[in-house]
Amino acid sequence: MMVASETPTALGDLFVLDLSRILAGPTATQLLGDFGATVIKVENPKTGGDDTRGWGPNYVKDTNDKATDLSAYFMCANRNKQSIAVDISTPEGQETVRQLAARADVVIENYKPDGLVKYGLDHATLRAKHPGLVYCSISGFGQFGPNRDQPGYDLMAQGYGGIMSLTGDPQGAPTKVGVGIADVMCGMYATIGILAALRHRDATGEGQHIDLSLVDAQMSWLINEGMNFLTSGENPERRGNAHPNIVPYDAFAGSDGHVLVAVGNDAQFKRFCDIIGRPDLGTDTRFATNTLRIEHRDALIPEIRATLEEFTTQEILEKLQSVKVPVGPINTVSEALLSDQAQARGTVISVPAKDFAGGKLQLLANPLKLSRTPVQYRRPPPRFGQDTDAVLETLKHPKPPK
């Protein structure tokens, strides 16, 4: 659903200069754009723009049924932006970026540490001229530390940061999360940091540099498993879909597929055992509390698996829902995005885009729902460099007042 342009926005007075590419930085700037910020995405004409424009399949087709530079990957993090083609390795390109930075509230980049110093576009140089500028740098390992010069991709961050040691089948290989979650979470932290720095800037006039790394962000969301190690000194085990601190909490096979069961407390466990026809498990002293169920996990879980295999997945869902025991399906992506829940919540949006087949683009929506300043989908993901002339024309005119 398109939001009317007169709807108030939370960040409508913000100007964001986006020097980032791939996923972490673009995730952050897309979030800012969703809430009204003007986002100018600078793309390299030597490479045809953001790397992800070439990360297909799949690609949106134009009205002549030809593939465009809008890959599905690129579109996931680049709506509500204007794209300009600028070669920052040239003096002309550097001057263009400096002029844009002079108008910006925020600059965000994900070059290697000190990678922009030779162009005079690093945080120290720009903030010396514009002390109110909020400048966010995203890198693999951060601006300092022994690994600062190593490149960082989501896969490497998941490996270095520990999450892969916890993900996958206990008997199988360490496994990454199926999407670039380290990048996405880093982008979310970047957004939070930028908004906090802007709050400080608005109060004091003072900008600042935000130093954020994929690995730092990934380690921060080890959450309970990170704390399990810090508390016990023991490495957490890979448990597949099972939970280290709650039993039973896992994927279980029915006769025709799998369901998820998450028994959160002792009262739920008693109801669970009764409804599946195993009251004996509910009265067994070995399983009376969650702590005991963890201790005797290896005895309990096979009993539950053998019992649930006698029911269809629909029977399991209906039985457990009837007694308010947390249970749920394992949907495919299509089942999730086409579900009645997703439709009711507006999980998929349709954005008008007259130059493409069908005259519209389907995108994943921003999940935030604000009552007074809702998300606005003002611009579909841009073609490479499509706004270059229009943006450069604005530089010929005085900086508009805030």
Residue 63 to residue 47: CA distance in whole angstroms: 25
CB 189 within 8 A of CB 217: yes
3-state secondary structure of 96: helix
Catalytic residue among 18, 105, 183, 216: 183
Cα–Cα distance for residue pair 199/222, rounded to 1 Å: 28
The encoded tokens of residue 241 equal 């879909």
Length in residues, the chain: 402
The CA angle 107-112-118, to the nearest 5 degrees, is: 75
Helix (H) or strand (E) holding 158: helix 154-160
Give CA–CA dist 215/204, Å, rounded: 31
Tell me which DSSP letter residue 39 carries. Answer: E
Nearest alpha carbon to residue 245 among 260, 226, 218:
226
Count the alpha carbons within 13 Å of 337 in the hemisphere toward its beta carbon. 9
Is 183 a catalytic site residue? yes
Amino acid (1-letter code) at residue 402: K
CB 63 within 8 A of CB 32: no
Coil vs helix vs strand at 111: coil
Q: Which of 84, 104, 99, 103 minimizes the C-alpha distance to 41?
A: 84
Active site residues: 183
